[in-house]
Amino acid sequence: MSNRVIPQDWHRYTAVEHATWDTLFARQVSMLATRVTPAFLEGLEVLRMSKPGIPDFEELSERLVRATGWSVVAVPGLIPDADFYDHLANRRFVAGRFIRPPEQLDYLQEPDVFHDVFGHVPLLVNPVFADYMQAYGRGGLRSMQYGSIHRLARLYWYTVEFGLIREGGGLKLYGAGIVSSNSESLFALDSDSPHRLGFDLKRVMQTKYRIDDFQQTYFVIDSFEDLLETTLETDFAPLYRELDSLPEIEISRILPSDRVITHGTQKYANDKRLNTSTSEDA
Ligand code: PHE
Ligand code: FE
């Protein structure tokens, strides 16, 4: 029935693994208190995620199903795009079950259970974001027919993984890749280095991204309602076709048409010579 799903085998986690979760959890909760969208903190509450140890997906899913009909299932690392989209379209969030080793609290090559569950799941309690994720899954299946998965992947990257949101007169974090990372939680909001630009659907799908370090550009949405409405109401098929004839936008470019919120110095990337793009297309 559900593709590639495996048991979490929650009872197999060791004391050290649970302790790793607790360390990461405590560190992020205090880091995020003033930085993350209130919807995320509400999700932590509703899901009782402060309970010590790596969450048991069954217990977590019970609460999540009651809230928005989503559940969390374990998968063995990366799965084929079609399976991933199909899970989302059916309100199943797929999560890795392994946790990073204690000596690698900050550096991660593949997403682990802390990124997947702490980073992504709390926002699924928010009804609007929950609908967005499902719509994204349906859109993903559709994008395959147009050979445009990579365009849609950029939308995911710049919203679900690395999105910022305008809230209460300031900016807040909501992207899972940011909120599950201690250093990027600081960098994305406080650093002078990255650009912060108003979200624009077509622009985002034209823009490369980097997978090996902090983002050089973040896109800021006005609200989850806004994000859901824009993506639902836009037929992506003509957009995909149009994008095929438009140039890619490099990760640190600013265009005259951009709504610039912060014009970054790009010092971080320049110092590290991150300028030649190591992006998904490399
Ligand atoms: N409206 C999009 C399409 O026509 C589907 C979609 C919705 C994609 C929401 C992403 C997010 O394909
Ligand atoms: Fe993720």
DSSP result, 118-177: IIITGGGGSHHHHHHHHHHHHHHHHHHHTT-HHHHHHHHIIIIIT-EEEETTEEEE--HH
pTM of the predicted structure, to 2 decimals: 0.95
Helices (H) and strands (E) in the chain, counts: 13, 7
Question: In this predicted model, what pLDDT tens digit does every residue of 228-248 receive, in sequence order?
Answer: 999 999 999 999 999 999 999
Question: In this predicted model, what pLDDT tens digit does every residue of 119-140 receive, in sequence order?
Answer: 999 999 999 999 999 999 999 9
Asked if residue 236 has its Cβ within 6 Å of ligand 1, the reply is yes
**Is residue 279 predicted with pLDDT exceeding 90?**
no
**Is residue 20 predicted with pLDDT exceeding 50?**
yes
Q: Is 161 a catalytic residue?
A: yes
Residue closest via CA to ligand 1's atom 11 equals 136
Asked if residue 142 has its Cβ within 6 Å of ligand 1, the reply is yes
Average pLDDT over residues 161-166: 98
Residue 169 — very low, low, confident or very high, per pLDDT cuts 50/70/90?
Answer: confident
Residue 109 — very low, low, confident or very high, per pLDDT cuts 50/70/90?
Answer: confident
Read off the tokens for 246.
């438009």
Asked if residue 232 has its Cβ within 6 Å of ligand 1, the reply is yes
